[in-house]
Amino acid sequence: MHQVTTPREERRLLTAAASAEETALLAEVVELRAKNEQLGQALASREVIDQARGMVMVLAPCSSGRAWDLLVDVSQHCNIKLRDVAAALVATTKDERLPEPIQRELRRGLRRLHLTDRR
């Protein structure tokens, strides 16, 4: 049995469909804006992390991969985001003092790095 819809019901259904499409589109725009913001933050963080990695490579001296591992280690042991560890290290070039926990873990990491290089 086929049900017949009235013009009024058809308009209501079309309006609901258009509204659902607009809602889905709006949700997609919000999601894309959030992703765009995250990518912007990631790019900004990447720059400071790469600078810190270069500083570690000069201090150690070591490869880029080993410098990355050391920074990740410091970040994990201090429970501080990697980008914040990197920013603190880079800030020392502007006469800012490295926070004690980062300083301590960086020293430990550099020591471990030197010990493994001697083997």
pLDDT at 77 over 80: yes
**Distances, alpha carbon 104 to alpha carbons 66, 74, 76, in Å:** 18, 9, 13
In a domain, 2, yes or no: no
pLDDT at 89 over 60: yes
More confident call, 68 vs 19: 68
Q: What is the extent of the structural domain holding 81?
A: 7-118
In a domain, 34, yes or no: yes
In a domain, 59, yes or no: yes
d(CA 35, CA 31): 6
In a domain, 61, yes or no: yes
- What's the total number of domains in the chain? 1
In a domain, 1, yes or no: no
In a domain, 43, yes or no: yes
Reported pTM: 0.69
Closest to 89 measured CA to CA, from 117, 111, 70: 70
How far is CA 93 from its chain centroid?
A: 23
Residue 82's pLDDT band (cuts 50, 70, 90): very high
Question: In the 3-class helix/strand/coil scheme, how is 20-58 assigned residue by residue?
Answer: HHHHHHHHHHHHHHHHHHHHHHHHHHHHHHHHHHHHHHH
d(CA 36, CA 45): 14
In a domain, 105, yes or no: yes
Residue 115's pLDDT band (cuts 50, 70, 90): confident
Q: What angle do CA 51, 76, 52 make, to 5 degrees?
A: 5
In a domain, 85, yes or no: yes
- pLDDT tens per residue across span 36-47: 889 988 888 899
